[in-house]
Structure 1
Amino acid sequence: MMDFWTGGTMTKRSIAINLNLDEQNLQAIQEVVPDWDIYTGKDIAEENLNKAEILVHWRESQANKYVNSNKLKWVQSWSAGVDYLDLDHLQKNDIHLTSASGVHAYPISETIFAYMLGFTRLIHTYIRQQQEKKWYHANLKAEIHEKTIGIVGVGEIGKETAKIAQAFGMKVLGVRHSGRDVDYVDEMYTPSDLSLVLERSDFVVVTLPLTKETHHMFGKEQFAQMKNSAFFVNIGRGSIVDETALISALQQKEIGGVGLDVFESEPLQSDSPLWEMDNVIITPHSAGATEYYTNRVIQDIFIPNLKSYLVKGAPTINVFQHNLGY
């Protein structure tokens, strides 16, 4: 029996999806829960948000409409990071939370190498010169092959990045909480050994979630430990990096350059020195964007979780662990 009895009447269970979902994915969900109501769209009515048992894509602009709902049992985040959510509220009210972790492995790993290749082969410099109609070699000489990459946070994105790095003949160093070995990573370390990785790496790539432990994990001390030719990439969360310390490291030439998709304050303020630096590549928190995003979230994560929820009362994929912060 899929319906709830409330005060002598039968109430249909429902899902609220805070975006305009295409017909194919909507139908795929409806086939799993044929007797449920499914509400979709960026401006779902407050009454439908309040009665939803499952919410897909928590929208900050509508948070006050459903944060106090006593019917909400599960939130499926549309992003891998969930630090923007009211995690204390979800934990206190025993509301399941699942993320979109794993969806971004291909597009973000491609973005990481776009930064690295762009910096190494001076593509960012040549684009600026093209705008000025300037023909200048700019002392191009670096290669990415056979260099050392340190990947801090070897989850799905980190593993895909390591796989591509191996194709370039790179030495791959990894950092993860458990320190367990991972395919395509030559040497694995724990966060306590971070300095060893930073000292050896020509490229340092951060793919971590934001937690209490990772907040400002990269600051003055960490940048000082890197090679002055090292290229630093952050596609995790902006607050993992002390931005003031990063700017200082660039100005003092303690590191060679950076590729940044995330920032402590977004959008990046127009007066930030990062905009004007020749050795900085900036993207507007777009590294995970892909034409396949919706299909991967719905087909690979949400629908399998929905089937588990119906049988077991709980999702099983990408379940947020409050004790770990991710």
Structure 2
Amino acid sequence: MTLPPPGLLARARLLAGPEVGDAAAEALERTTGRTVERGGPAGGGPYVYVGAALPDALRGDGLLWFHSVNAGTDALLGAGPWPGGALLTRTVGRMGERIAQYVLGWVLAECQSVPEFAAQHARAEWRRIPSELAAGQTAVVHGTGRIGSAVAGLLRSCGIRTVGVVRTPRPVPPGFDAVAVGDEPVAARWVVAALPLTDATAGYFGAARFAAMGGATFLNVGRGATVDLVALEAALHAGSVGRAVLDVLPDEPAAPGDACWRLPRTVITSHSAGITADDDIVTDFAACLRELTAGRVPALAVDTTRGY
């Protein structure tokens, strides 16, 4: 991974895309002591860009560093060849906490029969439903990075046993009680998808993986295209997936007539589990800048060949 030369980085112009609000731009100016420029690279490089998409005009030699305002970079890398020599970093911020709370909220709602009670209320029906204890049950998390570890850590604090799925044997990551390698079977009450989208994870959750879930509830807080929705629908009808909570879809936003809205026992939320805040962007950009100034690869750097 190539780092921007310190001399060029020190005099680089700071550009920001329309996704960076005025408050965030002002905070970036205070952090860097540079003026944030809008509207593209007119006037020549070198430059640093903060945004969600890489404009065509920035794909030249002048781009030193692109800091994405998003955690996922699949759409960014899928838009065309990444400029050689340009560093890519991403924003995570407190997204792990937000997504972990989202997952825990749905887990506890299910244990307390919130969907059933809401349906009863709509029917003006009085019927007692016993609650279910979350503690002592198992959650399997696919994706053991920052977000997956945050999810596992919060679930674990509630007494839920957390198992992280890894491709090859490795030490147990933070937040997890154990790891499962590959398709090693694990009986779970909840299965959480927190995977990035890469060539290896596209369609990762297909018929075979859903068939092996044994009635678990499936929650996707990673990337929509990691899930085969046709296979998920079949698994919901067959009962191998008990319920589904999908914060992400392969194609967003879903139109009112989209078949996804008719999936049984499924709730779809609008890619809202971990919305990026201005503070996240500024804090993570500043952390990357400090590491670069010290000559280190930022912890939030993306390997553009792997996609994460």
Which residue in the other structure is 1:15 paired with?
A: 14
1:47-82 deviations in whole A, cap 9, x for unaligned? 55975611111337xx33x34343111111111110
Is the counterpart of residue 114 in structure 1 residue 105 in structure 2?
A: yes
Query: In the superposition, relative to structure 1, how do residues 52 and 139 fare at CA in structure 2: closer, same or farther (>3 Å)?
Result: farther
Question: What pairs with 1:244-255 in structure 2 (closer than 5 Å)?
Answer: 244-255=230-241
CA contact (8 A) 1:223 1:246 kept: yes
CA contact (8 A) 2:53 2:76 kept: no
- Matches of 1:68 and 1:162 in 2, distance apart? 38
1:188-221 deviations in whole A, cap 9, x for unaligned? 123x2x3413xx1110001111111111111110
Is the counterpart of residue 104 in structure 1 residue 95 in structure 2?
A: yes
Which residue in the other structure is 1:37 paired with?
A: 35
Which residue in the other structure is 1:196 paired with?
A: 185
Which residue in the other structure is 1:77 paired with?
A: 68
Query: Is 90-99 or 46-55 further displaced after alignment?
Result: 46-55
Query: In the superposition, relative to structure 1, how do residues 47 and 55 fare at CA in structure 2: closer, same or farther (>3 Å)?
Result: closer
Is the counterpart of residue 269 in structure 1 residue 260 in structure 2?
A: no
CA contact (8 A) 1:195 1:225 kept: no
Is the counterpart of residue 127 in structure 1 residue 111 in structure 2?
A: no
Question: Taking structure 2 as the reference length, what is the TM-score of the superposition?
Answer: 0.85
Is the counterpart of residue 316 in structure 1 residue 298 in structure 2?
A: yes
- Match for 1:116: what amino acid? V
CA contact (8 A) 1:96 1:315 kept: no
Query: In the superposition, relative to structure 1, how do residues 76 and 138 fare at CA in structure 2: closer, same or farther (>3 Å)?
Result: farther
Which residue in the other structure is 1:159 paired with?
A: 149
Query: In the superposition, relative to structure 1, how do residues 227 and 59 fare at CA in structure 2: closer, same or farther (>3 Å)?
Result: same
Which residue in the other structure is 2:289 paired with?
A: 306
Which residue in the other structure is 1:9 paired with?
A: none
CA contact (8 A) 1:54 1:73 kept: yes
1:283-311 deviations in whole A, cap 9, x for unaligned? 10010026xx2212312x21122233345
Is the counterpart of residue 288 in structure 1 residue 274 in structure 2?
A: yes
Q: Secondary structure at the match of 1:16?
A: strand
How far residue 118 of structure 1 moved from its aligned partner, in angstroms, is: 2.0
Q: Secondary structure at the match of 2:66?
A: strand
- Matches of 1:49 and 1:317 in 2, distance apart? 31
Q: Secondary structure at the match of 1:250?
A: helix
- Matches of 1:307 and 1:157 in 2, distance apart? 23
Which residue in the other structure is 1:7 paired with?
A: none
1:154-179 deviations in whole A, cap 9, x for unaligned? 12222222222223222221113453
Post-superposition, which runs of at least 4 consecutive aligned residues in structure 1 deviate over 6 A? Answer: none
- Match for 1:322: what amino acid? T
1:235-256 deviations in whole A, cap 9, x for unaligned? 0000111111001111222211
1:56 equivalent among 31, 35, 50: 50
- Matches of 1:109 and 1:188 in 2, distance apart? 19
Query: In the superposition, relative to structure 1, how do residues 87 and 73 fare at CA in structure 2: closer, same or farther (>3 Å)?
Result: farther
- Matches of 2:269 and 2:102 in 1, distance apart? 9
Unpaired stretches in structure 1, ≥5 consecutive residues: 5-11
How far residue 15 of structure 1 moved from its aligned partner, in angstroms, is: 0.9
How far residue 152 of structure 1 moved from its aligned partner, in angstroms, is: 1.0
1:214 equivalent among 179, 201, 205: 201
- Match for 1:174: what amino acid? G
Q: Secondary structure at the match of 1:94?
A: coil
Query: In the superposition, relative to structure 1, how do residues 157 and 136 fare at CA in structure 2: closer, same or farther (>3 Å)?
Result: farther
Question: Taking structure 1 as the reference length, what is the TM-score of the superposition?
Answer: 0.81
CA contact (8 A) 1:13 1:37 kept: no
* Matched pairs, number: 298
Query: In the superposition, relative to structure 1, how do residues 170 and 210 fare at CA in structure 2: closer, same or farther (>3 Å)?
Result: same
